Amino acid sequence: MDKIALISGASRGIGLETGKQLLELGWNVVFTARNMHEGRPLVNKLREKWKSAWFHQLDVTDEQSISDVAEYVEDTCGRLDVLINNAGIMIEENHKIMDVELEDLHKTMATNLYGPLMLTRTMLPFFKDSKDARVINVSSRMGQLSGMEGGHAAYRISKTALNALTVVMAKELEGEGIRVNTICPGWVCTDMGGPDANKSIEEGADTAVWLATADKIENGKFYADRKVIPW
């Protein structure tokens, strides 16, 4: 079987586009999404062209849901080469840190930080048969400490934490041959980015696809437009 990727939050936007571009390159792609009724029909449509497209429901905040998708990967593919932690939310208004509801902060951290951690932990055994295992975390410049500003406090904090998680995982997993990196897709014209964004969905998916497929990449870095950027 050719290269295999699993993508969280892949029923729309950057996740869906990343999967489509990998399919074009001949990859097997497991698309996952919290909403099964939205995700499955989309992937069934993709399967009319690419039989290597697969779907399973996944809520990254639910440990049982993560276990279920792991069982699906084991039964369907038996291994993984790339995990793309793309699922993410921005549920709060443009709140300052002193105004943000703690419930919003908890919910945001559950999806944007704990979700990638739990999913990566669970999928770790499936990398053992890969010759070039990679984890790609989808972050944002809004979590970049070197350019940190105010507003959207919960989202910013969650992405800064995801960046820290990337570095820790990169250091701890490099001995197992697994490279872990973070990307900022940019301001992309998606449901989250809005219609005024300056990047197309195709452009937003480019760095993730490149990190998944490039012959040589670094480890434990923050990338945007295929270049390393400061944390």
Give the pLDDT of residue 95.
84
Structure tokens at 68: 């279920």
Residue 186: what pLDDT? 82
How far, in Å, CA of 87 to CA of 209, rounded? 16
Task: In whole angstroms, give the CA distance from residue 21 to residue 210.
Answer: 10
* Structure token digits, residue 203: 């452009």
Predicted pLDDT at 193: 63
3-state class (DSSP) for residue 218: coil
Give the model confidence (pLDDT) of 177-228 as tens digits: 999 999 999 877 676 666 776 678 899 999 999 999 999 999 999 999 999 9
- Split at pLDDT 50, 70, 90, the class of 93 is confident
User: What pLDDT shows up at residue 1?
Assistant: 57
SS3 of residue 215 by DSSP: coil
Whole-number pLDDT of residue 4: 98
Pairing of strands 222-224, 133-138: unpaired
**Residues 100-121, mean pLDDT to the nearest whole number:** 97
- Closest by alpha carbon to 207, among 221, 191, 190, 197? 221
Choose among 180, 198, 176: nearest CA to 189: 198
Query: Tell me: the pLDDT tens digits for 35-62?
Result: 999 999 999 999 999 999 999 999 999 9
Q: Please give the structure tokens belonging to residue 149.
A: 């500003």
- Nearest-5° Cα angle at 36, 34 to 80: 70
DSSP string across 57-88: E--TT-HHHHHHHHHHHHHHTS--SEEEE---
CA–CA gap between residue 184 and residue 156 (Å, rounded): 13
Answer yes or no: 72 catalytic: no
Q: By percentage, how much of the chain surpasses pLDDT 70? A: 96
**Which residue in the list 72, 114, 155, 223 is annotated as catalytic?**
155
User: What pLDDT score was predicted for residue 199?
Assistant: 79
Distance (Å, whole) CA 173 – CA 223:
19
Q: What's the count of helices (H) and strands (E) in the chain, helices before strands? A: 7, 8
* CATH class, range 4-228: alpha beta
Say whether pLDDT at 154 is over 90.
yes
| pLDDT higher at 201 or 89 | 89
DSSP string, 109-169: HIIIIIHHHHHHHHHGGGGTT-SSEEEEEE--GGG-GGG--SS-HHHHHHHHHHHHHHHHH
